[in-house]
Chains A and B, each alone.
Chain A
């Protein structure tokens, strides 16, 4: 009997599945809510970023709707999960555009996922603004592709000039992941800028994603006695590396980039004294930042990370542009996007010719927290482009 019921259930599933996508819903017309799509990794390896970004987008849309919406219409955000997998990003994109009829996309989060849909977004004239894809080539696909974060080459330069000018470092070492485009890109730009300024990169060691032991590389690096050690990777790997750096007795100042965001919650006192570049600092004395952090913390019970702030900004940049354009015509929105020049949570934002935001970066220092082994972040410096 059970088998029969299951058979029927499965057959039904099959049939429903076949027609699930059929009969596309009414496209966005002149009435009804303005639909904005978002593609975020709600599950998968970087879900911590994806869920926070999603929450921030929904928070922004709720605020806009509470204030009366835009063009006299409500805004509807439709969030799809891509598991940080480019294949899923493509199908999510097609679903959002052809079935839901969205006019703009906030996403995708990781660069490789964004790159999988930029050509499609350009061809279909869908305004796409990625909150956090820092790879330089993301906006190359055309004039409908924007981002609200700075790109890797700017970030590498920021860290390099901070190291040379503020930390007075002359010898730098780099430990990077050579199977990760983000890590590789930062390594190149950091090296170029640091050497241009007059410093030398004394050692450049690499590993592969998923490696756990870095002692061999660190021993080599230790031999060159660098002033600073640049580790351009995400917080989970960095927390492993930092422990081994300390146990090796390497005393160079560690430097990182925005992938270090969340490191304070994932590492102990071994990271104290390190610096990393970020999109904003939650403790900055700035009314926009304070309001955003307070509201987000109240709603979701945790302090927002930088990616949440970027997603929040991206949503506002897009909706502001739609309001300014006065219509849902993609051409008009695109033009309005280019005219963006306003202060957002992550700083004053305007776009350059390649649709990258011209904005400042923040250097953050990791300091001892109130409890042992619970480091805190402290605003260190703002670096302007």
Chain B
């Protein structure tokens, strides 16, 4: 019973917190406290969060290095765009279709590459990404080829740029929350534990009765589905697609985000994806030195946080609220903790003096 109560509490708080953040961001955008440019970056960051999370599912949780996520995104983006332009499908159906199509591709590459690990899988997925790009370049009549696919209708066309920006942001934000919820629940379920056990040691997990092959393909397919939906959002967000937007360097960007945030940390990935999107734009101030500074920032991060920003830990809102409620942060508690801290420090100093 307690478990059920906890669960209800978790669901309620998380829904509440994400809704409050959502509403605050909407209001800030509506009253132009957050400029349209920042709003655009927030939306782009949301898409990056979605795709990075899907990569984290393979790389961080299942322990399989994939360098083909831009390829997955590409399949999703083109499928969604073509579904909307050529067949006039509504956005939600087109997005799901994009996801399913990508999942099929994920399945098609997941099954034959089951026995590959580490570098070998990375090379295969890298090749996959390039194959997708080349196919799309050569499917002129369907995809527009190297010249790109133009005229993808945006989420809305009210004529008011602020309202359009808000609707665009809402789409991405809501889907992002759904993706976070799905991955979080998956990781904390028995399937999730099976997936994590594969990362730790697949021989040991096989001997414990985990169906390694099944869970690898499962993770791969789900990851592809989410990346495909992310790609679909990207297509509608941009209104224009070009195969050059999905080069292997983009796949590397997603790997960078996942490693930066911490392999196997959902909150880490979210933070890293937002920082990554922002940093690139914010560094515009430095003009030509932008790329140097960006590279340096990555190097410094990797030296001081080799496990990424969050390692494999999570920031937990519900955990924080529980601590608050249990009186952990009452003034008296804080005072006692502070004293303990100072004593410890004092002892340390004494120790050094000896």
Chain A interface residues toward B at CB < 8 A: 2-3, 6, 10, 13-14, 16-18, 20-24, 42-43, 80-81, 85-88, 90-92, 94-95, 98-99, 111-112, 115-116, 119-120, 123-124, 135, 137, 140, 178-181, 184-185, 208
Contact = CB atoms under 8 A, between A and B. Distances in A.
Contact of A80 (B38, B161, B284, B301): B284
Contact of B242 (A99, A115, A185): A115
In the A-B complex, the 6 residue pairs with the smallest Cβ-Cβ separation, listed nearest first, are A21-B38, A181-B147, A98-B36, A181-B146, A24-B35, A17-B278
B148 A95 contact: no
Given A119-B151, A181-B146, 16 more contacts: A20-B278, A20-B282, A21-B37, A21-B38, A22-B33, A81-B287, A85-B245, A86-B242, A87-B238, A92-B284, A120-B239, A123-B161, A135-B147, A137-B147, A179-B146, A181-B147
A13 B33 CA distance: 19
Interface string B115-134: 00000000000000000001
B304 interface: yes
B240 A86 contact: yes
B37 A95 contact: yes
B288 interface: yes
B240 A119 contact: yes
Contacts of A17: 275, 278-279, 282
A86 B137 CA distance: 16
B40 interface: yes
B244 A112 contact: yes
B147 A86 contact: no
A120 to B, nearest CB: 8
Q: For B151, B240, B281, B288, which residue has the most chain A Cβ atoms within 10 angstroms?
A: B240
A20 B290 contact: no
B150 interface: yes
Given A17-B282, A179-B137, A22 B147 contact: no
A297 B112 CA distance: 59
A18 B238 CA distance: 22
B145 interface: yes
A354 to B, nearest CB: 15
A325 B299 CA distance: 52
A142 to B, nearest CB: 12
Interface residues of B, number: 41
Contact of A16 (B34, B41, B148, B282): B282
Main secondary structure of the interface of A (DSSP, over half): helix
Q: For A18, A21, A85, A178, which residue has the most chain B Cβ atoms within 10 angstroms?
A: A21
B304 A3 contact: yes
A119 B153 CA distance: 10
A95 B147 CA distance: 25
Nearest to A141: B150
Contacts of A135: 147
A241 B245 CA distance: 27
Contact of A94 (B32, B34, B40, B137): B40
30 contacts: A3-B304, A6-B300, A10-B301, A13-B279, A17-B282, A20-B278, A21-B34, A21-B37, A21-B38, A22-B34, A22-B38, A24-B37, A81-B287, A85-B244, A90-B40, A91-B41, A91-B281, A94-B37, A98-B36, A112-B242, A115-B148, A119-B151, A119-B239, A123-B161, A140-B150, A178-B138, A178-B146, A179-B134, A181-B146, A184-B145
A115 B147 CA distance: 9
Given A17-B282, A91-B281, A124 B161 contact: yes
Given A6-B300, A95-B281, A180-B146, A24 B32 contact: yes
B181 interface: no
B291 interface: yes
Contacts of A115: 147-148, 150, 240, 242
Contacts of A124: 161
B240 to A, nearest CB: 5
Interface in B21-40: 32-38, 40
Main secondary structure of the interface of B (DSSP, over half): helix
Nearest to B146: A181
Interface of B: 32-38, 40-41, 44, 134, 137-138, 145-148, 150-151, 161, 238-240, 242-245, 275, 278-282, 284, 287-288, 290-291, 300-301, 304
Nearest to A42: B288
B244 A23 contact: no
Contact of A181 (B40, B41, B148): B148
Contacts of B32: 24
Contacts of B291: 43
A6 B245 contact: no
Nearest to B289: A43
Contacts of A3: 304
Nearest to B239: A119
B318 to A, nearest CB: 23
B205 to A, nearest CB: 36
A86 B238 contact: yes
A94 B36 contact: yes
Contact of A43 (B34, B44, B288): B288
A18 B278 CA distance: 7
Contacts of B278: 14, 17-18, 20
B197 to A, nearest CB: 33
Contact of B147 (A18, A21, A88, A184): A184
Contacts of B300: 6
A80 B239 CA distance: 21
A87 B245 contact: yes
A90 to B, nearest CB: 6
